Amino acid sequence: MATTLARIMNPDMTKTSKTSSHTLQDVGEAIGARERFIVASHARPDGDAVGSQMAMALALEALGKQVTVVSADPPPEVCRALPGVDTIVIGPTVAGEWDAAIVMECGELARTELTGLDGTFAINIDHHLGNTLYGDVNYFDESAAACGELVHDIIGALGVPLTAQIARHLYVAILTDTGSFHHGAISARTFDICSRLTAAGADPAALAHQMFDQYGVGRLKVLGAVLTDMRLVGNDGVAVLAYDDALLTRSGATLDDLEGLVNLPLASRTVQAVVLFKTAAGEPIRVSLRSKGDVDVRAVAGTFGGGGHRNAAGCTLESSAPDACDALVTRVVAAVNAGAATAGDGDRSMGT
């Protein structure tokens, strides 16, 4: 209540809300004062999007709130067996009435690819550097390994106990966003939260098996095909991968079968960054970027209108400009060389 009181006494404080992150207490108050919620995340959702949305929805329901979880696209196949995921309303348009939209994992509202949210009271919860703080309430922390970490803290602030179902969703969010605790802003807090989630009923081995070991053989075939055609540039420092729908069809694979593909070349000692192009006739080219250590692919994505994290980013290129692909790869090679120079690590030097 101190925060509310302070704002009443000093209305100018609210003017800072567009340029700075709010506190957990602000988020708790914004949720507590409202009854009907839309819970949204980005299009083509990943485990962090689905897990964060579902955990938040379960917590809101525990408080007696009315909740609708929405998504422009269906959840990944591997997430569909998790509790409540089948209740997510899939589609490009959000209909109905609500008091607030809780938007997770989106640097800007447009990333939801949902229509009908404009002008709504928005609670923005995210860990992507470059978030535009578009919400009426913004809970933004780039030091979180997953949005699920932030949702864990919010659920605690709301006073909702961690049930086994909530714990499973949050664990999946963290497990998938860190690639099995392999990359991202993994910290002592990450393990502290996971310890609590495990105590509350999340089974780490079972959830890892459920998330990573349930693909069809089409996955093996499509990964083999893409890796066979991999191009290595910058003294093997950058791996360039590409696929299209025809390759998926030939391999008997689905889009879900490509989950994690972009990370695979990083298993090589020499590869410091990966560029993955998804091409389709007449459509923009989708680009996923991954890197190790100091190599900043978010900056590269940013020069092409995209964003993300230092080691995981993405952007979209106009397919009418094939030179843009070469220009992007050149920038990634430069980023690898700059990263190697920053690190001052002879083993990682790419440019010599």
- When CB distances to Mn ion are compared, the closest residue is 48
Binding mask 56-75 for Mn ion (x = CB under 5 A): --------------------
Residue pair 271/255 in contact by the 8 Å Cβ criterion? no
Nearer to Mn ion, 234 or 308 (CB): 308
Report in angstroms how near the CB of residue 48 gets to Mn ion at its nearest. Answer: 4
The whole-angstrom separation of Cα 225 and Cα 301 is 26
The whole-angstrom separation of Cα 103 and Cα 30 is 13
Look at residue 137 and give its three-state secondary structure.
strand
Tokens of 52: 């964060």
Binding mask 34-53 for Mn ion (x = CB under 5 A): --------------x-----
Reference 299, options 280, 315, 279; nearest CA is: 315
Question: DSSP code of 274?
Answer: E
Residue span binding Mn ion (CB under 5 A) among the ranges 15-23, 139-147, 184-192, 309-317: 139-147
Report in angstroms how near the CB of residue 231 gets to Mn ion at its nearest. Answer: 28
Report in angstroms how near the CB of residue 136 gets to Mn ion at its nearest. Answer: 22
Site for Mn ion in 78-137 (CB under 5 A): none
Contacts of 83 (CB under 8 A, 6+ apart): 54, 58, 165, 168, 169
Report in angstroms how near the CB of residue 75 gets to Mn ion at its nearest. Answer: 14
Look at residue 278 and give its three-state secondary structure.
strand
Q: Residue 93 CB: number of other CB atoms within 10 A?
A: 11
Nearer to Mn ion, 177 or 257 (CB): 177
- β-partners of residue 278 are 243, 286
Site for Mn ion in 171-230 (CB under 5 A): 177
Report in angstroms how near the CB of residue 14 gets to Mn ion at its nearest. Answer: 28
Report in angstroms how near the CB of residue 248 gets to Mn ion at its nearest. Answer: 25
Nearer to Mn ion, 55 or 147 (CB): 147
Per CB under 5 A, 257 contacts Mn ion? no
Nearer to Mn ion, 184 or 339 (CB): 184
Contacts of 129 (CB under 8 A, 6+ apart): 142, 298, 307, 308, 309, 310
Report in angstroms how near the CB of residue 249 gets to Mn ion at its nearest. Answer: 30
Nearer to Mn ion, 70 or 147 (CB): 147
Nearer to Mn ion, 211 or 271 (CB): 211
Contacts of 260 (CB under 8 A, 6+ apart): 179, 212
- How many residues touch Mn ion under the rule CB under 5 A: the total is 3
First to last CA, the chain: 60
Nearer to Mn ion, 27 or 312 (CB): 312
The whole-angstrom separation of Cα 279 and Cα 288 is 12
Site for Mn ion in 141-180 (CB under 5 A): 147, 177
- Under the rule (CB under 5 A), what is the footprint of Mn ion? 48, 147, 177
